[in-house]
Structure 1
Amino acid sequence: MELLKEPAFRADQVWRWVYQLGAQSFSTMNNVPLLFRETLGLHYSLERTQEHQVLISKDKTIKWLLAFSDANEVETVWIPEQTRSTLCISSQVGCTLNCKFCHTGTQPLVRNLRAGEIVAQLLHAKDVLQDWPSHAPTRKINNIVMMGMGEPLLNYEQVAKAIQIMMHPQGLDISRKKITLSTSGIVPQIKRCAEELGVNLAISLHAVTDELRNHLVPINKKYPINELLQACRDYASITGCRKITFEYVMLKGVNDSPADAKKLVDLIKGIPAKINLIPFNPWPGTELECSTESNIKQFAAIIEKAGYIAPVRTPRGEDIMAACGQLKSASIKAKAYQA
């Protein structure tokens, strides 16, 4: 095969064209021999995902519904802010975890995304935002959060490969300090993530007792709170990370009492941490309600008095169902399967 006769540096050239310059065709790679470009075109494709829908919020958040070659879809969200911007990326079509407050959890798992499909969400956003080359000093996407559809650590191999591509210094060159992986608590994979990736870790906690968390986040039945928090301590020790983020959705009359706040402080004692308080974002069919503003402020005050940062997340993209916990694609199949 002709590809095997090329010098090794050809791979570096192609890599840089794809991940530094955003090339969408081999024909544009003008420092690569024509015959080699033609041969690549016969065997490989740089075709992007298909944009089935784009919604733009009044706060300028953008949500894309992106389709892959098998017609399955995921949602990807870009959240611009004054000092930074964040891309929220999906790791699965659907989800298996059935967290009670999450709209995505009402969609059955269809399949895991492959590494290329995970990275493709970033490439699409960079295309739309004209955010090339990747080393530009004023990037329009400077933070990545694996907080979209799916549980990243149930698709660890492909997620890890995608993150390694994103971090590669000769490609997309996104610092591990600018990448956050959010998990509901797949304990065995948390250590692997620490050893192999070392990115920021966010834990979807949402409750301070196993009884309540078993109901809100059913994976807790397999990996209860004490095991999860020990994994967090180990993660901090292995990575030397600045802080682990604990995500806590505020649910009226469910988990928002002063006693809950005090218990939360006790649970995370000794862990370098911050607590993101997330006002519940309603979606069609849910019976849950968001905590009152006064209850959220009281909850935050108790945590901050204990010496932890407890920002209240400002909902973004609510009007286009792009806020935390609201993502859900149309790719629903009767029988779930793993890719």
Structure 2
Amino acid sequence: MADLVKTPLSVLDPSPIIAGGSAELSLQNTLDLAKKAEKWGYKRFWLAEHHNWVGMASSASPVVIGRVASVTEKMRIGSGAMLLSHYSPLSVAEQFGTLEAFFPGRIDLGLGRAPGTDAYTAQVLRPRAAGEPEFAERLQELTAYLYGSGTAMTNGSHTFHAIPGENSEVPIWLLGSGLYSAQLAGKLGLPFSFAGHFAPGNMMEALAVYREHFRPSEMLDKPYVLLSVQVVAADEEKEAQRLATSMYQKFLLLTRGQPAPLQPPVDNMETIWSERERIAVEEQLFTSLIGDPSGIKQQLAELIEKTEPDEIMAHTEIFDHQARLRSYEILAEAANH
């Protein structure tokens, strides 16, 4: 069995909004989860960025990162992921440089290429112009702000600096659900986080591509894989399976084009989804760890043995906040006993 103790655990939290709840309640629950996750030994706490999505409250992730960092002491707090397509590299460098100034040595900058929303909302967030730099170019500019002395216009007439941020060396991560980010992270010598919590079909190939293309850099001398997966744990197997139906309903509604707040669990999904829908949802969630403490421990060991990650990041959306806390507690216990 894989050595669970040597594989750190972390949290990916989108501040889920439940049916009948509110964004305010969700953000307060995020703070509560962060404080307890630190007590249970989690290494990182990342906030997911989504926009115009009624089921998630962490749209302004840098603001939430700062608040979470203020109620914790040791955990690294970061973005999972900051969606670079919506922002100028200079503004991202300034925001995370500011966070690093307030919380030195505790801030992570995870970057993603996806819009995190629909095309119309993406255009509202930041209108696109023809000939805009591609992701790799924007990443290069961002790195220059955080790891150097700024960047200059092509004719050298003016230099731009991220203040705060310049030479802060905030760790940059690439996050992805496919092969492009895996290959780019490898070539640039950056740590890579794979979104196994919603795209497990690409998991093994993406991890292989990253490791194959990895080149040492000033930031990292060997590959570092953080694997994000869905986790639903409870004291009894039957209860874990019941709690997981909220997650199933979320993905079912997404396949129907009907995003919604997180729904309460149900006793039987068969009356809710068709066979075709069940297959589609399960294809997105087949790496999920669902079970009682012994089941979670075994599933975690099997996943680690199969993928050999340097770190596991748990993404847990459970309707009841206390049950969600207990799930994270069980996972921590499984990895350390």
For Structure 1 versus Structure 2, the TM-score category normalised by the shorter chain is 0.3 to 0.5
TM-score (norm 1): 0.41
Larger-gyration structure (1/2): 1
TM-score (norm 2): 0.41
Q: Could you say which structure has the higher helix fraction?
A: 2
